[in-house]
Amino acid sequence: MCVSRFLEFEVARQQTEAPVHLAKPVILQAMDRCRREIAAGVNLPVAWSSLAVFQLLTEAPFAALHSLAKVITLCVHPTASGGPSPQPCAAGRALLRTRETVQHLAVIREKLAGFDWFERLLLLALAGHMNDADALAELQRKASWKEGRPHLGEADSVVIISGGCSPAVQPAINTLRPRLRRAFDGLTLTLLAGGTRMGISGLAGEMAARSKGRLRVFGYVPGSLPVGVTADKQRMAGLFETTGTDFTPLEPLQGWTDLIAAGVAPARVKLLSYAGGDISKVEYAVALALGAKVGFIECDAVPAERRAVEPLWQDQAGLVRLPLDAMTIRAFLQIDDLPLAPAALAGLEKAARMAHEDYMRFATPRDDALQPWESLADSLKQSNYHQVAYWEKVLLDHSLGVRPLSRRQSRGRPLSMTQLVGSQGIRRLAEIEHGRWNVERLSLGWRYAEKKDIPQKRSPWLIPWRDIPKHIRKFDLDAIVNLPKKLREAGLELYRL
């Protein structure tokens, strides 16, 4: 917008923030225009990027980060178009233009609250979405390891633990603790969190201490901690300081700096958010914008002002609202959506087809997934493959394997699940299946409602296992009992390892 360009050049020319103060009424009018364009769905990249700059100039740094993150969500990775240099999309061009704005405004960076946060998120966007070599080089210079070796690796499975750390949320943390411990039990992951012994950060440290080395937790704290706050030096695999004197979005942005600088693809990262405030809202906005998947854990024990998803991100792809249920959280952490190798696809295809057929029995006619397998979009096929791959992992944890059914073995009777795992094992596997079902439905846009409404994708059973009535639990229990038979229909068999 003309107002934004005029201001940035005047600021750079005069080397002072005076033009911003004088233009405040004009800025407010320009912001209203941006919001009208956004509401109308027109000129979105420019409207969001201009609004972000205006919010930065008018001392609304948190809002500026959310608006900048919205620009990033509009950006697609550049593709080559007849020349050696990839051409950016409209949102990419808006990001490049915003970089010029930031360079001009840098002369008053000390006068603009949150300027460093805004600049860092822009670098992450340029490096992660635009493949910008200069931005990546700058992030590598800002990485926590400086001249040493990265504490993160490209192949790491990374989970960011985000949420409240104040005394006010401690009762909600106590409610979460047993579920999160069960969800993470036995998993091997790299965790990023705050680096204190309070709230959600303290819980991450607890889980790391109990995991016997399976969970590595890296904490991020400001250079000067507030009075009464203690860094968790004993339980963290590494503790990294930012330049701040209090907790700000700079700590989670430093975590993302380390991830991108180390070559970790955002699509490999998942974020769990629980009982968070303004900083946590920025955390999941940044994660969604960069391409990570976010699990927002819902719980009535959380203070009311911390329960709701930020309105800007309510319907954002990649956001999954999770009930406070251990096996649902575990399924969210383990079910992947990255492309599988061709050999894996071939081995899982029959079972994946069956999973899709099961979904079709309950799907709404307007659902994109209600298509024959041959006509199904590749992304939806991948979802079915990953569901089957998840169950292979689960069975492996119970010393069971899946293999192609031979002609000789097909003449005999399938194994009995009760004999294989016992009645307790069947109940445990049924709970796991309900968690998987929750994640599948929630990822496809379903929501909890008191009454079932298939066309609107509403179900009363998207709740924790402990709250499911017995007659509904029977569906999951029967699914486990009949698993050997279902596998045979797909040309597979269950066997003891």
Question: Mind giving me the DSSP string for 133-169?
Answer: HHHHHHHHHHSTTTTS--SS-TT--EEEEEE--SGGG
Residues of the chain with CATH 1.25.40: 2-142
d(CA 183, CA 215): 12
Radius of gyration of the CA atoms of the chain, in A = 25
d(CA 220, CA 283): 13
Q: What angle do helix axes 417-443 and 378-397 make, rounded to 10 degrees?
A: 150
The domain 158-324: what is its CATH number? 3.40.50.450
* One-letter amino acid of 471: H
Residues of the chain with CATH 1.10.490: 342-496
Burial 204-228 (b: 16+ CB within 10 A, else e): bbbbbeebeeebbbbbbbbeebeee
Query: And the tokens for 259?
Result: 């991830």
Q: Which residues pair with 272 in a beta bridge?
A: 161, 295
Determine whether 145 is exposed, middle or buried from the number of CB atoms within 10 Å of its CB (0-12, 13-18, 19+).
Answer: middle
The predicted structure's pLDDT at residue 83: 44
DSSP per-residue codes, 272-332:
EEES--HHHHHHHHHHHHHT-EEEEEE-TTS-GGGTSPPGGGTT-TTEEEEES-HHHHHHH
The predicted structure's pLDDT at residue 77: 63
Task: Collect all residues with Cβ–Cβ distance below 8 Å to 389 and sequence separation of at least 6.
Answer: 336, 340, 344, 348
The predicted structure's pLDDT at residue 345: 65
Degrees to nearest 5, angle at CA 284 with 280 and 288: 170
Indicate the DSSP class of residue 16: S
212: left (phi over 0), alpha (psi -120 to 50) or beta: left
Query: And the tokens for 466?
Result: 């402990």
Report CA-CA distances (Å) from 40 to 36, 330, 389, 452: 6, 39, 42, 33
d(CA 300, CA 298): 7
The predicted structure's pLDDT at residue 362: 56
Degrees to nearest 5, angle at CA 299 with 296 and 302: 100
* One-letter amino acid of 412: G
**Distance from chain centroid for Cα 116:** 23
d(CA 39, CA 48): 11
The domain 2-142: what is its CATH number? 1.25.40
Cβ proximity of 11 and 105 under 8 Å: yes
CATH class, range 342-496: mainly alpha
Report CA-CA distances (Å) from 317 to 213, 289, 382, 493: 33, 10, 16, 36
H or E element: which one contains 101? helix 90-105
- pTM to 2 decimal places: 0.90
Residues of the chain with CATH 3.40.50.450: 158-324
From the first residue on, what is the mean pLDDT of each consecutive set of 10 residues in the chain (497 residues)?
A: 85 94 94 97 96 97 98 75 63 95 96 97 94 94 90 94 93 96 96 95 96 96 89 94 91 97 94 97 97 96 94 94 97 77 67 70 60 73 73 85 74 79 92 91 90 88 95 89 80 82
The predicted structure's pLDDT at residue 361: 63
